Amino acid sequence: MEQFLQQVINGISLGSIYALIALGYTMVYGIIKLINFAHCDIYMIGAYTGFFCMTSLNLGLIPSMLIAMVLCMILGAAIEKVAYKPLRNASRITVLITAIGVSLFLEYGMMFLVGANVRAYPTMTGILAEKIHIGDFAIPVQNFFIVGITLLLMIMLQFIVKKTKLGKAMRAVSLDADAARLMGINVNNTISFTFMLGSALAGAAGVLVGVYYTSINPLMGYLPGVKAFIAAVFGGIGSIPGAMIGGFFIGMVEVMVSGYASSLFKDAVVFAILILILIVKPAGLLGKNIREKV
């Protein structure tokens, strides 16, 4: 029982990180129908930014995370401008290949800059290093911190999407870009804004994953990125609450498989889930079946 509760807590922490990344995928997919492969590398760069802020500049965790978010936001917008915007009217396969190219460029560019070796994330100090004891088991405070930050960011995102003018524009563009343009919405700016929003969340997730796994390397983005995408597909791609549910689900499955079966198979199980969803309910949990128009 204790082990089970421990696993649940780990699952929620890991799941919240996946959910943060999945939000970026789902928003971008919702608005321009692109699997943004570069998203997982933005998250890797977020982790590195946090690392350098904490070690070289001696900043605290929260300021480092804010800097990482801002930097990723700029990076996300820049990638969109340079690589995706010229291809707005190109076929989907072209944009997808570009996204893979950008992703590889970020990974190997970073490897070239900082080296391929794994770096240890600075250990948490102060209250974050403590553990809360309930009965027999101990919950590290950093898990509360990870989940808390995630929830805060999700509430902020919901507020932006539902209550602000830009959020309304985002929803309009993802529903029908041409109609939105006719209504006087600046579609290009809205798409840039979506990229910025998603990238900022990925930056935060990068710092949190550094705290959770305590090690980072330039290729760390690939697997969590694919898993977060699976989470987005599970929840119904394009749906923001779906991405959150999917993220928590995938995190929980992964932790349970490595806890009770074999950690060697945790990745295979996640991919098997993807293939199962595609067979059973391709639209995902909260997705809608959209009929294609000619």
Partner 1 sequence: MKNLFKKSAVIKTISIILIFAIVQILLLTNIINDYYFTTLVTVCINIILAVSLNLVTGFTGQFSLGHAGFMSIGAYTCAIFTMRMSSTLGVGAFLIGIVLAAIAAGIVGVLVGLPTLRLRGDYLAIATLGMAEIIRIIAVNLDITNGAAGLSGIPRDVNWFWLFLFTAGTVVLITNFLKSTHGRSCISIREDEIAADSMGINTTKYKVMAFVIGAICAGVAGALYSSFFYVIKPDLFGFLKSIDILVIVVLGGLGSISGSILAAILLAVISTMLQSFAEVRMVLYSLMLVVIMIFRPQGLMGSKEVSLQLFSKIGQSFKKKRV
Distance CA 80, CA 99 (A): 10
HSE at residue 129, side-chain half, CA atoms within 13 A, is 5
Which residues in 175-194 contact partner 1 (CB under 8 A)?
Answer: none
Question: Three-state SS for 139?
Answer: strand
- Nearest approach in angstroms of CB 5 to partner 1 is 28
> Judging by beta carbons within 10 Å of its beta carbon (0-12, 13-18, 19+), is residue 267 exposed, middle or buried?
middle
Which residues in 192-231 contact partner 1 (CB under 8 A)?
Answer: 222, 226, 229-230
DSSP class of residue 281 equals -
Does 159 contact partner 1 by CB under 8 A?
A: no
Please pick, from the candidates 70, 96, 114, 187, the single residue that binds partner 1 as defined by CB under 8 A: 96
Does 263 contact partner 1 by CB under 8 A?
A: no
- Nearest approach in angstroms of CB 250 to partner 1 is 13
Q: Which value, to the nearest 10 degrees, does the dihedral of the CA atoms of residues 175, 180, 181, 183 take?
A: 170
- Tell me, what amino acid is at 188? N
* Count of positions on this chain that bind partner 1 (CB under 8 A): 43
* Span interacting with partner 1, options 98-106, 121-129, 186-194, 209-217, rule CB under 8 A: 98-106
- Tell me, what amino acid is at 81? K
HSE at residue 65, side-chain half, CA atoms within 13 A, is 18
Binding mask 107-126 for partner 1 (x = CB under 8 A): xxx-xx--------------
**CA nearest to 146, candidates 208, 206, 201:** 208
Question: Are 39 and 170 within 8 A, CB to CB?
Answer: no
Closer to partner 1 by CB, 73 or 273: give it.
Answer: 273
Element of type H or E holding 215: strand 215-216
Distance CA 6, CA 189 (A): 44
DSSP class of residue 122 equals P
**CA nearest to 8, candidates 289, 236, 253:** 253
Closer to partner 1 by CB, 165 or 293: give it.
Answer: 293
Closer to partner 1 by CB, 4 or 260: give it.
Answer: 260
* Span interacting with partner 1, options 67-75, 87-95, 207-215, 244-252, rule CB under 8 A: 87-95
Does 4 contact partner 1 by CB under 8 A?
A: no
Does 243 contact partner 1 by CB under 8 A?
A: no
Which residues in 11-40 contact partner 1 (CB under 8 A)?
Answer: 33, 35
Question: Are 8 and 248 within 8 A, CB to CB?
Answer: no
* Span interacting with partner 1, options 57-65, 99-107, 188-196, 249-257, rule CB under 8 A: 99-107
Which residues in 272-291 contact partner 1 (CB under 8 A)?
Answer: 272, 274-275, 278-279, 282
Which residues sit at the interface with partner 1, rule CB under 8 A? 33, 35, 83, 86-87, 90-98, 100-105, 107-109, 111-112, 222, 226, 229-230, 233, 264-265, 267-268, 271-272, 274-275, 278-279, 282, 292, 294
